[in-house]
Amino acid sequence: MKTNLIKYSFIVLAALIIVGFSSCKKDDDKSDNTTLKVHYKVGDDAFAYNTTYTINGVAVKFTLAQFYMSTIKLGENAYTDKYVLVKPGETYNLGYTEPEDYHAFTFDVGIDSATNAQTETDFANRADDDPLALQSPKMHWSWNSGYLFLKVEGMVDTDADGTPETVMELHVGSNNMLRSISLHSHLTVEKKGDNEVAINFDLNKLFTDVDLKTNHTTHTMNNMPLAKQLMDNLSSALKVM
């Protein structure tokens, strides 16, 4: 009986070792998690808050600039249910990516209509580290009115003395403001490699055809043309590095 028990224990132990080896091998076949970093800039200049830039001949100073990214895909590799609140200088984990060559990076700027129409309970029960939870500064109109897709704030110079003195407040949201972006990329994802998708966000191009001296405020519905112009400009303002 004792001999049989020892044999049985040995068989169980061997099985566990095989399973563990298979699991390790499976993990070894996976790449490191792919990360995303969006490099903010203003033309050729590095981006920094409370720094004065000249955009379309107008002095501008930024105090906030961020946007939501969703429906993220590298080639056909989809990062399911991944939402990112993109802020200057931060790196975000996207998740596992099959090792291969990729030539397209696609995403939406904004939040899908279903998530944008969540209930108060859905919104209130989100974890603190969830990018769709309550943010500070706020990134939603209210729980039943949806999210702000793009939020840019600062000061602009309206009296042409070179010093930004007038509040700039650009809050863009609502389902019809969602924009799908498709960027050409070349990224080789390697097993256990350092895999990062790096994107430039040029705020100079964000304001293409916008006269900030006279047109520097939108809460979307009160200035729909400006809101639409900003969202349409994203396709040229965002580029893979």
- Domain definitions of the chain by residue range: 1-30, 32-240
pLDDT confidence of residue 224: 98
C-alpha distances (whole Å) from 123 to each of 66, 70, 136, 145 are: 20, 17, 15, 11
Contact 152, 170 (CB under 8 A): yes
Q: pLDDT below 50 — which residues of the chain?
A: 2-3, 5-6, 8-28
162: region left, alpha or beta (phi > 0 left; psi from -120 to 50 alpha): left
pLDDT of the residue at 194: 73
Q: Give the count of beta carbons closer than 10 Å to the beta carbon of residue 134.
A: 13
Is 0.75 topped by the overall pTM?
yes
Mean pLDDT of the chain: 88
